[in-house]
Amino acid sequence: MTSLHDVALLAGVSKSTVSRVINNEYGVKESTKKKVQQAIAECGYLPNQVAKDLKSQKTNLIGVIVPRVSSHATAQGVDGLTTVFEKAGKQVLLANTHQVHQKELDYIHLFNQKRVEGIILYATNIDKAIVESIQKSSVPVVLVGQDGSMFNILSVVHDDERVGIEAANRLIARGCQNIGFLGVQGDDIAVDQLRSSGFIKSLKRQKQSLLFHGRGDFTIDSGYQLTQKYLNEYPHLDGLFCATDRIAIGAIQAIQDKGLKPGKDIAILGVGDDELASVCSPSLSTFHYSFDKAGERAANLLLDCILNNAIDMSKIVLTFQSIKRQSC
């Protein structure tokens, strides 16, 4: 195996000079640099990255914690942030929590041990434990999807309450009078609490009430099972707002299996603009979230923190776009 000594012999310089060239340190002549770089190429020498990191106090590693790697939102978000980090010379370590809250805490601790330069967390909820873990972190943490700004935690969020308001407006404009909501677990502030809160507020302003607030998980099967249940309890249902597109796609299937026509007998709206939304039948009316832009904004925000630049804001709120298709 080629060593630092071999490179020094070939270049005709000292080992310390080779080390200074590898670490891009000041004070080495350009002609000497070229000789050393040529020797490195000829020898096929690979510098010890761990040793370089220890010397520079930089690892160029970013920890990214996600709840599910199979999620459309996660995939687009990771695409967005990795593009930014790669341009900045950073590498991403990806951790999947499988929607287990304790693993979020574990990975924040682990990434601190691994000496990452910063962490992006796609949190499933905000509670005392996660806030304390972030506040104790020795490296900056940026939240995506949940709002930690009230705890002085940098956050990139979608306008979830506003999307609930717009969903109610669209269903009522369609003529719906018996309307339900399908969400996720109640501790998910963004996806369940805020989207339902805006939805209910808008219904009340227009003299409407909510038939039910069902809670499941993020899967198509959950949407199917919940819709079957509530169709039996509320056969007069004519409008349904689902917290995610996957839930809505399951709802469409359940309505069809009941012998009803989604989009005609029951209007349905989702959130996110999942890749399946345009190809399911009938196609799903929804709200487009720019998940890739959320990843990009979070990455740039974290890089600003790493470079010790002043941060003028603690929260970035991203807007959305209404997408009209066949289901509403």
Q: How far is it, in rounded angstroms, from Cα 177 to Cα 213?
A: 15
Global model pTM greater than 0.85: no
- Picking from 40, 56, 72, the residue at the C-terminal end of a domain is 56
Read off the CATH number of the domain in which 282 is found.
3.40.50.2300
Q: What count of other Cβ atoms lies within 10 Å of the Cβ of residue 40?
A: 21
SS3 (DSSP) at 272 = strand
For the domain that residue 49 is a member of, what is the CATH number? 1.10.260.40
How confident is the model over 247-274, as pLDDT tens digits?
Answer: 999 999 999 999 999 999 999 999 999 9
Task: Verify that 111 and 152 share a domain, yes or no.
Answer: yes
Joined together, the tokens standing for residue 190 give: 């963004």
Q: Which structural domain, as residue segments, surrounds residue 194? A: 160-289
75: which 2 tokens? 């995939």
Q: Is residue 326 part of a domain?
A: no
Same domain, 80 and 132: yes
Percentage of the residues of the chain whose pLDDT score is greater than 70: 93
Burial of 26: CB neighbours in 10 Å, binned 0-12, 13-18, 19+: exposed
Number of domains in the chain: 3
Q: 83 and 198: one domain?
A: no
pLDDT in tens, the chain (328 residues): 677 777 778 778 887 887 777 776 667 888 888 888 887 888 777 766 545 554 445 789 999 999 998 888 999 999 999 999 999 999 999 999 998 999 999 999 999 988 899 999 999 889 999 999 999 999 999 999 999 999 999 999 999 999 999 999 999 999 999 999 999 999 899 999 999 999 999 999 999 999 999 999 999 999 999 999 999 999 999 999 999 999 999 999 999 999 999 999 999 999 999 999 999 999 999 999 999 999 999 999 999 988 876 566 689 999 999 999 999 9
Look over the chain and give the mean of its residue pLDDT values, rounded to a whole number: 91
- Runs of H (alpha helix) within the chain: 4-11, 15-22, 30-43, 49-56, 72-87, 101-113, 128-136, 160-173, 195-205, 220-233, 245-257, 291-306
* One-letter amino acid of 301: L
pLDDT digits (tens, 9 = 90+) for 272-285: 999 999 999 999 99
